[in-house]
Structure 1
């Protein structure tokens, strides 16, 4: 059988048989696999793979995205393992490579990269038609976003506290936000002069973070740290941030790849349209 698709690691994958046994270590891609109708072949997932809620409950857990239970994966006898460059540890993947015949590496960097992701998985698992439908739906959303003129906003997108953590401009999250003309601060790119893709902020005051004066919105994500309205209200009481718009944002709709990106673009357009 000839190779059909090349993954993010440059590995060419042959078309899988109908008896493929898939373990996914990526929550958003687990959801995508179900959207492609691969329910019967999904045998393992992480505890963070929570969508579609009723279906994932029937699938064995194999730990977390970074704390994978190697023995639990081995016991499921997978033929295919789906991993992601950002979400899974290289050492863990190398251990799994010893007994999983096919490891599919994914690494979407922009919303449009989801089209390649759909095509990759559709080709490997014989779901080309479903992949095309998703690609068409995504293309429609991207076209709608590009056709609108959204007011420019500088945003601080927080993903963690104690310490505060945000996102660099070369992350998928930042690329999603750019669709509605929201630019992330600080203006850094991971890997540039040693910068991190997820920078740590020691504090949120103007003396130590002078670029904070240029921030219009502070967005508190629902994941990976589950920010709540209480966190939002606490920041609003900080007199140093009195001029900032501070609000919660659905992290799944902004950061998840796959099928959720289609809904995520709609979500961001609605948020931006409200001003």
Structure 2
């Protein structure tokens, strides 16, 4: 039975029925699909869709999140493609829409992420499973909000050479606030490049070096400690700050541990 749903860009998506052949263009949403019990319906994923590790290996890879191969996707004949406004290029998404239903997420904060999980549950016939995941995430974050009230400043680095930070109007910024931190670069938008001097002038209490997209390691700690001797410099799990699917079930507990480290 045909039905229509709206995605997070308020676009109406017409589906011929519950999807049976899904292509996911976003790693965190791929993991969510598996956790919703849709593994047998996933026919294509990106090169960066790495979870669940034991279940993604045999699936067809359609390229990157920005440069997916439309011809490969066509051969998979999906009845649903799931993407994201920030992670996927608009030109490629518009090209796919000529052939297939494409449901797009648009996520800036936790509430958007929960709405996305609910929405994907609805359009795939997995509403109870989605509600369980949403409830689990809400419970964990409600406990976190009561425990973290110190609000120390943090510079969250996502790239090196040149330095790039997660600033305001990003999902990472919302996660930092919910974890009890203030963003040292809240006056800037999105993902700006910054200089070493700007980092020093910000005088953050913490410098978080994200494990993705740039693979910061322990070997990079000294570089930033030299720039900001009074800051606490940590390598942090970028997936738990930036993945907005079911991995959020583990984020709040991780944030609590970061607070204790400080």
Same fold by TM (over 0.5)? yes
Give the Cα separation in 2 of the matches to 1:143 and 1:5.
Answer: 30
What residue number does 1:272 align with?
Answer: 259
What residue number does 1:36 align with?
Answer: 36
- Deviation at residue 63 of structure 1 after TM alignment: 0.4
Question: Are positions 1:198 and 2:197 aligned together?
Answer: no
What residue number does 2:115 align with?
Answer: 116
Give the Cα separation in 2 of the matches to 1:99 and 1:93.
Answer: 10
Question: Are positions 1:90 and 2:77 aligned together?
Answer: no
What residue number does 2:229 align with?
Answer: 242
- The 1:156–1:21 alpha-carbon spacing in structure 2 relative to 1, beyond 3 Å, is same
- The 1:31–1:16 alpha-carbon spacing in structure 2 relative to 1, beyond 3 Å, is farther
Give the Cα separation in 2 of the matches to 1:15 and 1:96.
Answer: 15
Aligned 8 A contact 2:18 2:123 in 1? no
TM-score of the aligned structures, taking structure 1 as reference length: 0.90
| Runs of 4+ more than 6 Å apart | none
What residue number does 1:227 align with?
Answer: 216
- Deviation at residue 211 of structure 1 after TM alignment: 3.8
Aligned 8 A contact 1:186 1:211 in 2? no
Structure 1's unaligned 5+ residue stretches are 191-196
Aligned 8 A contact 2:85 2:104 in 1? yes
Give the Cα separation in 1 of the matches to 2:116 and 2:125.
Answer: 14
1:250-269, aligned counterparts within 5 Å? 250-269=237-256
Give the Cα separation in 1 of the matches to 2:167 and 2:148.
Answer: 24
Post-superposition Cα deviations, 1:175-198, rounded to whole Å, max 9, x if no partner, equal 0111122111212353xxxxxx10
What residue number does 1:135 align with?
Answer: 134
TM-score of the aligned structures, taking structure 2 as reference length: 0.94
Partner of 1:32, secondary structure, is helix
Structure 2's unaligned 5+ residue stretches are none
What residue number does 1:27 align with?
Answer: 27
- The 1:251–1:16 alpha-carbon spacing in structure 2 relative to 1, beyond 3 Å, is farther
Aligned 8 A contact 1:150 1:273 in 2? no
What residue number does 1:64 align with?
Answer: 64
- Deviation at residue 112 of structure 1 after TM alignment: 2.5
Partner of 1:158, secondary structure, is strand
Give the Cα separation in 1 of the matches to 2:255 and 2:172.
Answer: 11
1:151-230, aligned counterparts within 5 Å? 151-190=150-189, 197-201=190-194, 203-205=195-197, 208=198, 211-213=201-203, 215-230=204-219
Aligned 8 A contact 1:122 1:131 in 2? yes
What residue number does 2:147 align with?
Answer: 148
